Amino acid sequence: MRIFLGQGISIFTYLVIIIALLLYVIWGWPNEEAWLSLLETTYAQIPFGVWIVFVLAFISFGFSLNTLQKVRSQEKKIETSLRPLLAETFEPSKKKYTQTKRMQATVTQLEQLILTQRKTLQRITNEKAETQDRIIQERLVQERQRLARELHDSVSQQLFAASMLLSTMVEIEEAKNGEVPKTLMQTEKIVQQAQLEMRALLLHLRPAALHNKTLKEGLEELLQELQEKVFFTIRYRLEEVSLSKGAEDHLFRIAQETLSNTLRHAKATEVDILFVERDNLAIFRVQDNGVGFEVGEGKNGSYGIQSVRERAVEIGATCKVVSVPSQGTIVEVKLPIEKPVAQPINLEKITTAERSE
């Protein structure tokens, strides 16, 4: 009601102001001749001015009432349209609950699908990285083999020829004069040392893969080939030991590193190689009677020995280096062998079988 009266009075005031302004425009400033005629002129014994006020009041409050009715009508429509939504909000129906459960199940399936796709992408990425690493390793092996072939066919052959010529010259000088010049002897030693360095390098460049051979077979082939090219005695004792492919490859590379160090630094006349199995341990040992070195010196931490130790750690083995100056060096690697665990006997099954018999 207050809204109705307030709105009606406001509209009536605006209309009165508008009519007054119109009369001012027509008649000018209020005067007795024009403005008093509104009170003197009557219709049905009521002054014309009163009729104007009555009409304006009727229009104002009629418009206010009409507006109020429209607002109430819109409020009812809104309330009618919102009532079902409010009912669903505060009193969820069984259908609403079923739709929620279906939506949750769909979200769960999407999460599982995303997780599966993520794992697949990770697996593909890992496989791609492994493939690239394998390709790089294969290329490295091919390059090592190429370098080994070129060095063997060129530099190694030339050093061998130079060594043979120097040996012949030494024999001739010794036959003529009874002694050999020191410079000639030093040159022969330098060439022989260069041959040892070259053979050590070729040994280091040799592929570490055994190519479907056991470690014993690979070591035998390596040592037989080495015996034909060195000036010292090689003795070896090798046994068949059951090891994993990775362990055999690492031990073969350790053998290459150790023999390469012996060729370059030991100046030995005898080398003994041992590969046996004792007390569930695979034991690989290289022993020489060379110049040796102090264990506390820098040679003990040289690249070759350090590489051997790192490879031993990678396969869970222990590496021991013992060296005495002027007496020789021993490099020993021990690797625990994992034996297959025997399956326990099921006594219940045996008892049941005996009873059934």
Q: Please check whether residue 326 is in contact with residue 285, taking contact to mean a CB–CB distance below 8 angstroms.
A: no
Q: For the chain, what is the largest distance between any 2 Cα atoms, rounded to a whole number of angstroms?
A: 173
Give the per-residue pLDDT at 332: 95
Alpha carbon distances (Å) from 249 to 220, 276, 354: 14, 16, 49
Contacts of 317 (CB under 8 A, 6+ apart): 333, 334, 335, 336
**What's the CATH number for 211-357?**
3.30.565.10
User: Where is mean pLDDT largest: 45-59, 222-236, 265-279?
Assistant: 265-279
Output 167 or 289, whichever has higher pLDDT: 289
Instruction: State the pTM of this model.
Output: 0.48
Q: What is the mean pLDDT of residues 37-46?
A: 67
Give the per-residue pLDDT at 300: 44
Give the per-residue pLDDT at 191: 77
Residue ranges covered by each domain of the chain: 2-90, 211-357
Give the per-residue pLDDT at 320: 92
Give the per-residue pLDDT at 253: 87
Give the per-residue pLDDT at 235: 94
Give the per-residue pLDDT at 17: 80
Give the per-residue pLDDT at 301: 43
Q: Please check whether residue 327 is in contact with residue 292, taking contact to mean a CB–CB distance below 8 angstroms.
A: yes
Amino acid at the residue 139? R
Alpha carbon distances (Å) from 124 to 16, 128, 142, 203: 86, 6, 27, 37
Virtual torsion, Cα 106, 110, 112, 116, nearest 10 deg: 150
How do 270-278 and 328-336 pair as beta strands? unpaired
Virtual torsion, Cα 278, 311, 294, 231, nearest 10 deg: 80
Q: Please report which confidence band the pLDDT of residue 200 belongs to, taking 50, 70 and 90 as the band edges.
A: low
Give the per-residue pLDDT at 207: 58
139-163, pLDDT tens digit by residue? 766 676 676 666 666 676 777 777 7
Q: Which long-range contacts (CB under 8 A, 24 or more apart) does 304-313 make?
A: 304/257, 304/258, 304/260, 304/261, 305/261, 305/331, 307/257, 308/254, 308/257, 308/258, 308/333, 311/250, 311/253, 311/254, 311/257, 312/250, 312/254
Burial of 106 (0-12, 13-18, 19+ CB in 10 A): exposed
Cα of 319 vs its chain's centroid, Å: 31
Beta carbons within 10 angstroms of residue 68's beta carbon: 15
Asked whether the predicted pLDDT for residue 85 surpasses 60, the reply is yes
Give the per-residue pLDDT at 145: 66
Asked whether the predicted pLDDT for residue 333 surpasses 90, the reply is yes
Residues above pLDDT 90, as percent of the chain: 13
Q: What is the mean pLDDT of residues 88-103?
A: 62
Give bridge partners of residue 237 from the DSSP assignment: 274
Q: What is the mean pLDDT of residues 256-275?
A: 88
Q: Where are the alpha helices (DSSP H) in the chain?
A: 2-27, 32-35, 37-40, 48-90, 94-151, 157-177, 182-205, 215-227, 245-261, 303-314, 347-356
Give the per-residue pLDDT at 154: 67
